[in-house]
Structure 1
Amino acid sequence: MYSEAPGKHRPDPGDPKQSTLGRNWGQVTPFVISSVPTDAPLCAPPDLASQGYATAFDQVAICGKENITRRDPAFRDKAVTGIFWGYDGANKLGTPPRLYNQVVRAIPELKTLTHAKQIQLLTAINVAMADAGIAAWYWKYHYDFWRPVIGIREADLGWGPTGKGDGNSLRHEKGDPFWLPLGAPKSNPTKSNSNNFTPNFPAYPSGHSTFGSACFETAAALLGKRPEDIIVTFISDEFNGKTTDNKGFVRPQLELKFSLRDAIEENEISRIYLGVHWEFDATSGRTVGEAIAKKVIAAFC
């Protein structure tokens, strides 16, 4: 089922029996776009030997490393951002589309609309996210690109099934066969001392980034504003004073104020801070999400 070639997705080393989620979801018929390759195209990720890959490698190897937040206070805010936008299928939290619906429902301008217009906007953002999910999973399994936990552990010669490494001489950070990410938050665990994790599907593009940009671009357009002009005050269920972390400790409540443009950008970079995505996963997800938003906006306006 899994390729052993450098650059290809394989299970989280912390859960080697991990299955793949949504392998065929990209074949679902979209709701608005005509087809994924036509209306939400995506070029291949950077070559493993490229400068683009080296830059992304160096970034996540440092920013997304397990326990870096405890060793260096400068990384604590990054960890907060990563967890704030988590919702990685956690118990009582759900998945990213629930988070983005919560953010949109907190938009002050939404409450000034008629019920019919509110229904139209909420329908539009969820249709956009439905097509975003189809498109993201189409490309994920098309390119089958590895996550940082595999890419960093097997970066140097001699490591990994082939021992070839990634062939990149441009990165500053060395490979680390023991590297682990901060990880997607295992919030409200059903058993004590659960581990954070790397999601069980390929990296490229980021699902969070694709969902988020499609949702927030669509919401802003239907409100007749730019994303940067819509300000939201919001408490994430990851930091609501009730949710527990993977060790069973209650996280404090945190209320943040941000624009939808901030939301798009922080949501996408949050995955790098957790160490589960590369920077180009985030930017490519935004590209796909924006393309879908344009089609959905045209259909609903």
Structure 2
Amino acid sequence: MPAAGDARPDAAADQAAHDVLVSLYPTMRSDLDGRLASELAGMPDGQAKQDGVAGGMAAARQLIALRSSDGSSAAAAPFVAGTGPGDYRPTPPKFPAPMYTGWGSVTPFLLDNAQQFRPAPPPSVSSATYATALNEVKSLGRDSSTTRTPDETVAGKFWSATPVWNTWNQVAQQLVADRHASLAQATGVFSALDLSLADTTIAMYDAKYHDDVWRPVTAIQLGDSARSPGIVGDPTWMPLTPTAADPSYPGAHSALSEAAATVLTAFYGSHQPVAITSAADPGVTRSFASLSDAADEAGLSRIWSGQHTRIDHQAGQKLGSEVAGRALEDLSVRQSTGG
């Protein structure tokens, strides 16, 4: 439903954000109500403000209704771990239950379906290609590695904060603030960024649980040269940071960071420098000459922290790039048609 012609866009945006967040997080209503009241109090009273509020309410109702049956609240079927070579199973030391096992079944926002850009099957865990990739992690990703550089150790811990999409939204917030973006400009940035991150997440979990590849810590601890030439097991091996509770292929940090950097580069250019902080490593700031450099390090850091192989990293980058391209195409079409 189109808003009245005189509607204040800032009032509409505040009201819509409030209503959607209350729907998602009802226990936070009191705080969200207070924030909305504070924002609206700063605007002059009048018909334009009232029309903006009404327009925001209508937009929120439409979005909530649109996503009410997207599958995000459906209970996932119990995960049954495999026992064969390459099969994912919970990881030491706490062996947590797998996460988001059904998220690949959520309806995407922009993609035709979650499988649209599903990565090609990974190399067999008995292949020489996999052995090479795993041995890289075995050397660089161990908690007590002597081949990982000090800077790689810092990066491995720095990017371990999850979810990584929070980090990229913070980057976007800083870029929007630095450029003094208008509400319309900021909306364009964040809609493209977060829709691409949302659909990358759906596509990524679809792929993870489709291929169901074990994590490096499992592969290394259970390594069997008889079945996997070139891999020598080490039951004492542990990664630099705790392993996430989901299958290895494709890499989440690689996919999400590539998606984010692709979108933000489209808005701010291929030579946009950026300084990033992380909740996982307070007081540390990582500086990069470009958004793509930051995304590259985010993905590679998961090798240095013992989480993923380079095979996972490359598949994740390709997936994130493809999903972000779809998001940017959609934004371009909406802008050209006035939608």
Whether TM exceeds 0.5 here: the answer is: yes
Q: Which residue of 1 aligns with 2:310?
A: 279
The equivalent of 1:125 in structure 2 is 193
C-alpha distance in structure 2 between counterparts of 1:254 and 1:153, whole Å:
34
1:231 CA displacement: 0.9
1:82 to partner: Cα distance: 1.1
Gaps of 5+ in 2: 1-79, 333-339
More helix by share: 2
Aligned residues: percent identity? 30
Aligned to 2:120: 43
Q: Contact (CA 8 Å) 2:91, 2:243: kept in 1 or not?
A: yes
Contact 2:156 2:240 in 1 (8 A): no
In the comparison of the two structures, how many residue pairs are matched? 253
Q: Compared with structure 1, are the counterparts of its residues 256 and 238 closer, same or farther at alpha carbon in structure 2 (3 Å cutoff)?
A: farther
Which residue of 1 is the match for residue 280 of structure 2? 238
Structure 2 residue matching 1:240: 3-state secondary structure:
coil
Q: Which amino acid aligns with 1:290?
A: S
Give the aligned residue type for 2:277. I
* Structure 1 residue 87 displacement after superposition: 1.0
Distance 2:286 2:159 in 1: 13
User: Could you tell me how far 1:110 is from its partner in structure 2?
Assistant: 5.7
Please tell me whether the aligned partners of residues 148 and 278 of structure 1 are also in contact (alpha carbons under 8 angstroms). yes
Preserved contact between residue 167 and residue 278 of structure 2 (Cα < 8 Å):
yes
Q: Residue in 1 aligned with 2:84?
A: 5
Q: 1:63 aligns with which of 140, 152, 155?
A: 140
Distance 2:286 2:176 in 1: 16
Higher relative contact order (CA 8 A, sep 6+): 1
For 1:33-68, what per-residue CA distance to the aligned partner results, in whole angstroms no more than 9, with x for missing partners?
Answer: 111222x13111111222220111110000000122
- Counterpart secondary structure, 2:279: strand
Match of 1:247 in 2: none
Q: Could you tell me how far apart the structure 2 residues matched to 1:45 and 1:110 are?
A: 41
The DSSP-based 3-state class of the residue aligned with 1:237 is coil
Is this contact kept in 2: 1:104–1:216, CA < 8 A? no
The residue that corresponds to 2:41 in the other structure is none
Is this contact kept in 1: 2:81–2:88, CA < 8 A? yes
Asked if 2 retains the 8 angstrom alpha-carbon contact of 1:213 and 1:289, the reply is: yes
Question: Does 1:144 find its partner at 2:212?
Answer: yes
4+ aligned runs moved over 6 Å, structure 1: none
CA displacement at 1:122 relative to structure 2: 1.0
- Alignment of 1:295 onto 2:337: no
Aligned equivalent of 2:263, options 188, 211, 218: 218
Structure (1 or 2) with the larger CA radius of gyration = 2
Alignment root-mean-square deviation, CA: 1.8
Query: Which residue does 2:8 correspond to in 1?
Result: none
Measured in 1, the distance between the counterparts of 2:286 and 2:99 equals 32
Is 1:147–1:203's contact at 8 Å kept on the other side of the alignment? Answer: yes
TM-score of the superposed pair, with normalisation by structure 2: 0.71
Answer yes or no: is 1:263 the counterpart of 2:294. yes
TM-score w.r.t. the length of structure 1 is 0.79
